[in-house]
Amino acid sequence: MAAASPPPLRIFVVGAGLGGLAAAVSLRRQGHRVEIFESSLMNKEIGAAITVQANAMHVLEYFDYDPKNLKGVDYFGTVKFSAVGGEGVTHLAPLPRNDLERAGWFCHRTDLHDELKRLAMAEDGAGPPARLNLGHEVTLCDPAAGTLTLKNGEVQQADLIIGADGIHSVIRTSVLGSVQKALPSGISTFHCLFDASKLKGRADMEWFSEGISGGRMVVAPEEHIRMLFLFPCRRGALINVVAYHVDDRVPDKDQDKRDWNATVAVEEVLDEFKGFHPRYLKFLELADPPILRWQLRVLPILPTWINGRTALLGDAAHATLPTLGQGAGMALEDAAAIGCLIPLGTRREDIPARLEAYQYLRKARGEFVNRESLEQATQPAKWGLYARSKDMQEFLIGHDAVGTARKYSDNNFAPRRG
């Protein structure tokens, strides 16, 4: 009589952000039983708008996403302008695959989050629907035993734990055995959105509305970063504004005394960007409240992402700056890879070896984005390098996380089941 196949694994995902939901999608597709633990009640809109580049789109295609649900705007590249005015310089984004219609999407973070939540929990999806536990704060993880301790004292046992609990990760502390905070970069951003209808009938808007579908960068000609990044989302109905600037309000060592994000008045934003041409300042003047100032933090390179039967994913492993627009992309790639490396039929005792493979495939790539995004925001010689470097673009957006992980699994482990 043939031996029975190993049953589906019981997998806990800590964190229900983009990375956590993507991990749930990826692992349910393999047939595993996935539970998500989220400390919040998820009753607030998450973030603003983001760029979903071709490498992330490839993962979403593997997840069988519905493009209509992203309400996206086509992304074909960026146009760079000097803050004092003048003609723009166009940087087209390459298409790494011949079958792609666009180099990426601009979409609202909430729309991507909602689509990943649907893919993780829908009854008609591939594999058993994930279970979402809201208001369940995790206070401790035993990485070797595969247990979580909740704030109410309850202890839960799993075969595998995924720490996707973001930049303030509790699971990271358990994996490392010590606290590792994300450190100040010295840069903050103002974030705001406004209704695109506010631009109608306004003079001198051709620079924004005409030409390629993509982002508009407005850069000050100075030795420290002051830059606007402007792009539409929600099928063009909203305009997203990100305003980068050096945050010298207090010394770096005292940055923790400031809120990581705080509401500011439009007058404070305009004062920071005084000297910019009036046509660019319109995008700050039109902002709908609230305008948030976010400290940009970067996680130092970690000695490991794995411990026992526990792995870190997304910002918990490689939180970085948004300079390359690859934060969500790296989390989606992480999620796709870990699912492909742990197919149905994986035994509980095999988990540590599979996580070693995950770290081998993902850590160096995540750390590359971590370092480059910081350097391209803080080193003037590297400003805009990603937009200029075809090699770097191909390395990042041409990557196939699904195919790479499947090939590694087939070459190093037992054949995939299904």
- pLDDT given at position 248: 76
> Which tens digit of pLDDT belongs to each residue from 83-112?
998 889 998 887 777 777 778 999 999 999
Spatial separation of the C-alpha atoms in residues 217 and 323, rounded to whole Å: 12
Cis peptide before 7 (omega within 30 of 0): no
Helix (H, G, I), strand (E, B) or coil at 374: helix
The residues pairing with 292 across neighbouring beta strands, listed in sequence order, are 191, 263
- pLDDT given at position 105: 93
334 burial (CB, 10 Å; 0-12 / 13-18 / 19+) is buried
* Residue 224 confidence (pLDDT) above 90: no
Closest CA to 16 of 117, 157, 112, 108: 117
Strands 49-53 and 33-38: unpaired
- Token code pair at residue 59: 């993962």
Average pLDDT over residues 193-222: 91
Helix (H, G, I), strand (E, B) or coil at 359: helix
Q: Residue 409: count other Cβ atoms within 10 Å of its Cβ.
A: 21
Closest CA to 52 of 71, 28, 80: 71
- pLDDT given at position 418: 41
> Which tens digit of pLDDT belongs to each residue from 269-278?
999 999 999 9
- Token code pair at residue 269: 């934003």
* Residue with the two structure tokens 């109410």: 152
Closest CA to 284 of 254, 298, 264, 261: 264
* Residue 416 confidence (pLDDT) above 70: no
- pLDDT class of 226 with cuts at 50, 70, 90: very high
At residue 3, what is the residue type? A
The residues pairing with 402 across neighbouring beta strands, listed in sequence order, are none
Report DSSP state, residue 167.
Answer: T
Burial 66-99 (b: 16+ CB within 10 A, else e): eeeebbbbebbbbbbbbbeeeebeebebebbeee
- pLDDT given at position 1: 47
Spatial separation of the C-alpha atoms in residues 61 and 25, rounded to whole Å: 12
Spatial separation of the C-alpha atoms in residues 51 and 191, rounded to whole Å: 14
Domain ranges of the chain: 10-75+104-181+300-412, 183-298
Of the options 1.20.1250.20, 3.40.190.100, 3.30.9.30, 2.60.40.1120, the CATH number for the domain spanning 183-298: 3.30.9.30
> Which tens digit of pLDDT belongs to each residue from 152-166?
999 999 999 999 999
Q: What is the mean pLDDT of the chain?
A: 92
Average pLDDT over residues 396-409: 96
Q: Residue 178: count other Cβ atoms within 10 Å of its Cβ.
A: 9
> Which tens digit of pLDDT belongs to each residue from 118-142?
999 999 989 999 999 999 999 999 9
Look up the CATH number of domain 10-75+104-181+300-412. Answer: 3.50.50.60
Spatial separation of the C-alpha atoms in residues 208 and 353, rounded to whole Å: 51
